[in-house]
């Protein structure tokens, strides 16, 4: 969590003092917020872009923040943001992917959308697709949309990465032929994709 912290060995300028005060106010606001996803405490722009109720559920497993994995990712994003109020959120996304997938960020590219490979991994009893596909992707989605919920935007640099997660989840759901909720889950992903384009 504490990576990206910077230590300055010089006297603070007036600008830095002002920035420090802004950071304290930012941290105070986060400390006062409730845990988990709460529509009433969210940024108005997020509510306008995604009025669908599923998105705001903390218990719907088909929602970005309703699963344990999504809820954890949101919490981790908020903790990271509190400690790094001025850092690029891309760094949090990178940290999340590398931590959950146990791979370098460079592996999270368009190759992960290979349908044949995904199908093989779903069928492979020795491969934990719940962890290395679902959990990785939902962590990316929850982290990315966590910024929208709290700040009313998704940084442009993050969008292609979040889109990869949405696209792979669509394929994963489609190939999970015996999963009764796959159609509803795909519809939810379509809502996220719609919002991602304009966020």
pLDDT band (50, 70, 90) for residue 146: very high
For residue 4, tell me if it sits in a domain: no
For residue 144, tell me if it sits in a domain: yes
pLDDT tens by residue, 52-108: 999 999 999 999 999 999 999 999 999 999 999 999 999 999 999 999 999 999 999
The CA distance from 86 to 58, in Å, is: 28
Location of structure tokens 């722009």: 45
For residue 22, tell me if it sits in a domain: yes
Flag whether pLDDT at 10 surpasses 60.
no
pLDDT tens by residue, 27-49: 445 444 557 999 999 999 999 99
For residue 177, tell me if it sits in a domain: yes
Flag whether pLDDT at 111 surpasses 60.
yes
Residue-range definition of the domain harbouring residue 132: 14-198
168 versus 19: the higher-pLDDT residue is: 168
For residue 5, tell me if it sits in a domain: no
The CA distance from 4 to 87, in Å, is: 8
The pLDDT value given to residue 33: 52
Which of 70, 193, 199 lies closest to 142 in space, CA to CA? 70
For residue 77, tell me if it sits in a domain: yes
Flag whether pLDDT at 109 surpasses 90.
yes
For residue 130, tell me if it sits in a domain: yes
For residue 1, tell me if it sits in a domain: no
Which of 6, 64, 80 lies closest to 192 in space, CA to CA? 64
Provide the number of structural domains found in the chain: 1
Predicted TM-score of the model (pTM) = 0.83
Flag whether pLDDT at 25 surpasses 60.
no
Q: Report whether 117 contacts 133 (CB < 8 A).
A: no
Burial class (CB in 10 A: 0-12, 13-18, 19+), 175: middle
Furthest CA-CA distance within the chain: 62
The CA distance from 70 to 73, in Å, is: 5
Q: Report whether 72 contacts 99 (CB < 8 A).
A: no
pLDDT band (50, 70, 90) for residue 17: very low
């Amino acid at each position: 969590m504490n990576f990206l912290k910077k230590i300055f060995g010089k006297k603070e300028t007036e600008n830095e003092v002002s920035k420090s005060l802004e950071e304290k106010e930012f941290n105070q606001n986060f400390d006062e917020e409730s845990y988990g996803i709460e529509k009433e405490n969210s940024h108005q722009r997020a509510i306008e872009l995604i009025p669908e109720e599923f998105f705001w559920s903390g218990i719907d497993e088909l929602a970005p923040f309703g699963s344990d994995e999504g809820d954890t990712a949101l919490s981790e994003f908020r903790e990271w943001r509190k400690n790094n109020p001025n850092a690029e959120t891309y760094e949090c996304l990178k940290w999340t992917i590398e931590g959950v997938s146990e791979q370098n960020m460079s592996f999270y590219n368009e190759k992960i959308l290979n349908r044949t490979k995904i199908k093989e991994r779903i069928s492979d009893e020795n491969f934990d697709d719940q962890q290395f596909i679902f959990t990785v992707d939902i962590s990316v989605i929850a982290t990315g949309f966590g910024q929208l919920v709290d700040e009313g935007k998704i940084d442009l640099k993050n969008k292609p990465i979040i889109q990869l997660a949405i696209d792979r989840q669509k394929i994963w759901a489609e190939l999970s032929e015996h999963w009764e909720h796959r159609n509803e889950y795909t519809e939810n992903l379509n809502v996220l994709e719609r919002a991602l384009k304009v966020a």
